[in-house]
Structures are given as C-alpha cells and as structure tokens.
Amino acid sequence: MPPTSARADAQRARVLAASVEIFGTRGYRATSMNEIAAGVGLSKPTLYHYFRNKEELLVRIYSDVLDESLRMAQETVDAAATPFDGLHDLLVSRVVHTCENRELLKICFEEEDELRPDLSEELIVRRRLFEDVAVSALRRHLDEHPEVRLAMAPKVFVNMCLGAVNWTYKWYRPTGPRTAAELGREMADALLAVLVPPA
C-alpha cells in the first residue's frame, strides 16, 4: 500500500532531519545513501522512493532554509514600526536562527560547492530575494534620514551585516554568558550604529 501524502511528507521530514545530522557530522561528500537510510531506519530502496540521490537531499535542505529565511525576513520587516527597526529585528532574528540551528546552517554555508552550477545559481537567485528584503528596509531608512551617510552601497552594507551574523554558527556556544537573543541585539546595535541619525 503506497504511503499517503501526509505519511510521505512526514517520512521526508524524518529523512531530511537525519541527513542534516549525518551531513553535519561526516560532511556531504563522505556520506552515503546507505548511511542515511540506516540513520532513518529505512531500506535503501525505500529511501529512493522519497529522494533519488544525495544531491536532491542537499537541494531540498537549501530550499527549505531559503524559503523559511525569506518568510521570516519579510514578516519581521513588515511587523516593525520603522524600516530601521525592521532591519535591526531582522539581524537579531538571523543571529537567533543561526545559533539555534548551527548544524543546519553549517551545511548551508559549507557544502554549497557540492551542487551543480545550474542548481547553485537557482539557489543564489532565491538568496538574493532574502537580501533584497533587508536592502529595501535600509534604503527606506536612508530615504527617511538623508543626514545619515553610508560609506558603501546599501547592498554591500547589508551583505557585510549578514556575513557577520551568519558567521555566529562557527563560534556561538549555548553555554556562554549570553543567550542567542541577547547576542543578536548586541550585534545588531553595533552593526547598525552607523545608521542612527545624529542627535
């Protein structure tokens, strides 16, 4: 009896979760489909019913992360009282998300070269949609405060900020003195200080 849609979706979610754990531990290239099947308690033929190969798994992981990131970014910016608050809240949320999903983000940041160029380009386009949410908020802030001067283009500034907050997956420790939210607020305050209009 073939799995129902709900059962199939639940099984795919289990496979993806196991893949994230195994890719994060062993690396994408060193992981086999046999290991993933064993990790989720499926036979290899059954696993191929849900995902045809490792690359499809990796693409799905990237796609899910990008979709969720874009949704969170748009909701965060839309809910903020001002464009500055939206950009600030967005950076805080990225720190929290990155610190709470370090294994997942490690794969996204370190395994991208394993994708075929055509698939990689598609994901880059989707990543730019996320960046555009932040760039749009920044430009609205600058339009409202012409007295604020940036020493670089808005897109460069946004990518500098995103690079800083994304890198927390490398060094954040949950046992440290700050929660992810506290760290996020400190980082956002520091990165965006140059955008605060002079008194």
pLDDT digit string (tens) for 63-82? Answer: 899 999 999 999 999 999 99
pLDDT > 70: percent of the chain: 98
State the Cα–Cα distance between residues 165 and 73, nearest whole angstrom. Answer: 14
The pLDDT score that the predictor gives to residue 139 is 98
Torsion of Cα atoms, 95 then 99 then 103 then 104, to 10°: -40
Selecting from 1.10.579.10, 2.30.110.10, 1.10.357.10, 1.10.3260.10, what CATH number does the domain 54-195 have? 1.10.357.10
Q: What are the residue ranges spanned by the domains of the chain?
A: 1-52, 54-195
CA-nearest of 90, 102, 110 to 187 is 90
The pLDDT score that the predictor gives to residue 4 is 59
pLDDT digit string (tens) for 169-188? Answer: 999 999 999 999 999 999 99
Task: Indicate whether 106 pLDDT > 50.
Answer: yes
- Look at the block and give the residue holding tokens 């008194």: 199
CATH class of 1-52: mainly alpha
State the Cα–Cα distance between residues 184 and 130, nearest whole angstrom. Answer: 18
The pLDDT score that the predictor gives to residue 158 is 98
